[in-house]
């Protein structure tokens, strides 16, 4: 094989692409990964999961010191915010991660082809004038922020998540268009640092897709923290002024328009599959009505030898979903039997408190006509949560009414993102609620609330 021929060429180095490339190389396939960004790691490491979690951590610490320590008898005076340092630290965290992927590529002998890939046919791509061919191509080009008519993003006053991660001053009033995960996480960052935050959401509730009971509780808690919500409303225009932005807002169902002033507007109404400039037409690869690359259950497109994974295909737009697809596909390309269980993919909102879910929501079970039982346990009755002064929220477990098999789990509360792993494991292993209830959970831990919720499925919680 020449230097420009490979067993596998992965296009895009996000969590889907870079993990797929590493796994393929581990399995002995000659692998390259094409990335047009100056650094590896895709949306997740550069402008997504990692920088947002760095700022969430810093702002949570700032808020804890400013407002949460008195309760513990700790008096801290003269607290100041050094936003430039906070942003610099975020940059350091991002660099450590992107360099980490570069190191892993070297270690596993994955060739990084720098530049933008474009299919010139079904068997070759062009990158900066050079042609590369492979037995198998993997499209892992990810996603981009959905634009909104009448709201022109300049990444200064009207920003997407990318601009919202780079602000060099705390806005006085930030208006967020869209009450989804990304908007609420970044809204939390700036709210904790002092911004007034208003969320405008088209639907009558926030966080579409979450179990409704959790979503309602989440909105209550955020409102108590000071978030303002305008539900059932839509933004129809945005005018940048010297002072900031004037938004035109209307009821979603139609009605009288009003204006709203903000100094920063964050547009966060979702993400769409990104395939611009990739030359899918030249390769003959089909996309669906939403522009996502169409694949079968094993990530094969309609063109033999071309596959796709991650945000660019159907399914939840989550880094770990992309990663698992990357591993499963690499294993299949190496002749193994890779597989992803879509029933056991957790999702987490990294606000305070955190929100986490795995499996089905109550609404989904009702719609599917499944007979289910519910077990719930509040963190107000958990000793560790009380000791932490973090009693907002509850654990909710859904189990099959006849077999007791776990169907879904939903947590709003401290460390929900970590607690959900136990329930994802349980669902993966086909466990029943009773299995979880009979596992010995250390005391005093937040995970006891999981055990109690599992006990509550049979109406036999002990501590409430
Ligand atoms: C603010 C924010 C916060 C998020 N937080 C979380 C979180 O906490 N947890 C979570 O699970 N998910 C989170 N996500 C979602 C997560 O980032 C995505 O699900 C994940 O990055 C998808 O991975 P991917 O590999 O499919 O694509 P991406 O990470 O989008 O990577 C695609 C890469 O392909 C490159 N590319 C595109 N076209 C070409 C081409 N023609 N040639 C060469 N390179 C190309 C792009 O430059 C990019 O680097 C967040 C997203 C955002 C925006």
pLDDT tens column, 336-350 = 999 999 999 999 999
Q: How far does the centroid of ligand 1 lie from the alpha carbon of residue 298, in Å? A: 21
Ligand 1 atom nearest the C-alpha of 277 is: 41
Residue 347, ligand 1, Cβ within 6 A: no
Residue 16, ligand 1, Cβ within 6 A: yes
Q: What own/partner pairs with CB < 8 Å and gap ≥ 24 does 392-396 have? A: 392/221, 392/353, 393/217, 393/221, 393/353, 394/217, 394/449, 394/453, 395/419, 395/449, 395/450, 395/452, 395/453, 396/211, 396/213, 396/214, 396/453
Residue closest via CA to ligand 1's atom 3 equals 48
Residue 36, ligand 1, Cβ within 6 A: yes
Q: 22 is written with which tokens?
A: 């590493």
Strand partners, 408: 359, 398
pLDDT at 275: 98
With 0-12 CB in 10 A as exposed, 13-18 as middle and 19+ as buried, what is 115?
middle
**Which residue, among 401, 400, 396, 388, has the nearest Cα to 419 in the 3D structure?**
396
Position of tokens 């006509």? 369
pLDDT at 1: 81
Ligand 1 atom nearest the C-alpha of 49 is: 5
Residue 266, ligand 1, Cβ within 6 A: no
Residue 279, ligand 1, Cβ within 6 A: no
* pLDDT, tens digit (0-9, with 9 covering 90-100), for 239-265: 999 999 999 999 999 999 999 999 999
Q: How far does the centroid of ligand 1 lie from the alpha carbon of residue 37, in Å? A: 11
Q: What is the pLDDT along the chain (464 residues), one digit of tens a residue?
A: 888 999 999 999 999 999 999 999 999 999 999 999 999 999 999 999 999 999 999 999 999 999 989 999 999 999 999 999 999 999 999 999 999 999 999 999 999 999 999 999 999 999 999 999 999 999 999 999 999 999 999 999 999 999 999 999 999 999 999 999 999 999 999 999 999 999 999 999 999 999 999 999 999 999 999 999 999 999 999 999 999 999 999 999 999 999 999 999 999 999 999 999 999 999 999 999 999 999 999 999 999 999 999 999 999 999 999 999 999 999 999 999 999 999 999 999 999 999 999 999 999 999 999 999 999 999 999 999 999 999 999 999 999 999 999 999 999 999 999 999 999 999 999 999 999 999 999 999 999 999 999 999 999 999 99
Q: How far does the centroid of ligand 1 lie from the alpha carbon of residue 314, in Å? A: 14
> pTM score, two decimals?
0.97
**Which residue, among 53, 105, 135, has the nearest Cα to 61 in the 3D structure?**
53
Report the C-alpha gap between 158 and 178 in whole angstroms.
Answer: 13
Ligand 1 atom nearest the C-alpha of 311 is: 26
Cα atoms found within 13 Å of the Cα of residue 460, Cβ hemisphere only:
6
Residue 37, ligand 1, Cβ within 6 A: yes
Report the C-alpha gap between 52 and 46 in whole angstroms.
Answer: 10
233 neighbors 201 (Cβ within 8 angstroms): yes
Enzyme catalytic residues? 443
Ligand 1 atom nearest the C-alpha of 347 is: 11
Residue 34, ligand 1, Cβ within 6 A: yes
The strand ranges marked E within 202-319 are 228-231, 233-240, 245-251, 258-262, 264-267, 271-273, 306-308
Residue closest via CA to ligand 1's atom 9 equals 49
């Amino acid at each position: 094989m020449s230097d420009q021929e490979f067993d596998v060429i992965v296009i895009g180095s996000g969590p889907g692409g870079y993990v797929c490339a590493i796994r393929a190389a581990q399995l002995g396939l000659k692998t390259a990964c094409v990335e047009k960004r100056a650094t590896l790691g895709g949306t997740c490491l550069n402008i997504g999961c990692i920088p947002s979690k760095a700022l969430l951590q810093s702002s949570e610490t700032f808020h804890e010191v400013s407002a949460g320590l008195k309760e513990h008898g700790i008096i801290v005076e003269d607290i100041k915010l050094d936003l430039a340092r906070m942003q610099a630290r975020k940059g350091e965290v991002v660099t450590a991660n992107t360099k980490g992927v570069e190191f892993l590529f070297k270690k596993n002998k994955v060739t990084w082809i720098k530049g933008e890939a474009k299919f010139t046919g079904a068997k070759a791509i062009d990158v900066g004038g050079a042609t590369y061919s492979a037995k198998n191509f993997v499209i892992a080009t990810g996603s981009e922020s959905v634009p909104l008519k009448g709201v022109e993003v300049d990444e200064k006053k009207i920003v997407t998540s990318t601009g919202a991660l780079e602000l060099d001053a705390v806005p006085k009033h930030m208006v967020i268009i869209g009450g989804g995960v990304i908007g609420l996480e970044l809204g939390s960052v700036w709210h904790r640092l002092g911004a007034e935050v208003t969320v405008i959401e088209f639907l009558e509730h926030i966080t579409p897709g979450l179990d409704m009971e959790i979503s309602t509780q989440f909105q209550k808690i955020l409102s108590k923290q000071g978030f303002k919500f305008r539900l059932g409303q839509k933004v129809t225009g945005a005018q940048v002024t010297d002072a900031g932005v004037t938004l035109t807002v209307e009821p979603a169902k139609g009605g009288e328009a009003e204006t709203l002033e903000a100094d920063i507007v964050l547009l966060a109404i979702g993400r769409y599959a990104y395939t611009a400039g990739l030359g899918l037409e030249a390769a003959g690869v089909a996309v669906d009505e939403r522009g996502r690359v169409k694949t079968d259950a094993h990530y094969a497109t309609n063109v033999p030898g071309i596959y796709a994974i991650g945000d660019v295909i159907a399914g939840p737009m989550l880094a770990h979903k992309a990663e698992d697809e990357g591993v499963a596909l690499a294993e299949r390309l190496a002749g193994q039997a890779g597989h992803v269980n879509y029933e056991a993919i957790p999702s987490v909102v990294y606000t305070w408190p955190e929100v986490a879910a795995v499996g089905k929501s109550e609404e989904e079970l009702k719609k599917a006509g499944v007979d289910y039982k519910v077990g719930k346990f509040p963190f107000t009755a958990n000793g560790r949560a009380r000791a932490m002064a973090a009693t907002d929220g509850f654990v909710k477990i859904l189990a099959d009414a006849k077999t007791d098999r776990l169907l879904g789990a939903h947590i709003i509360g401290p460390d929900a993102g970590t607690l959900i792993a136990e329930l994802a494991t349980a669902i993966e292993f086909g466990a029943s609620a009773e299995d979880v209830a009979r596992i010995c959970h250390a005391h005093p831990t937040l995970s006891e609330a999981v055990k109690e919720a599992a006990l509550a499925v049979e109406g036999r919680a002990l501590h409430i």
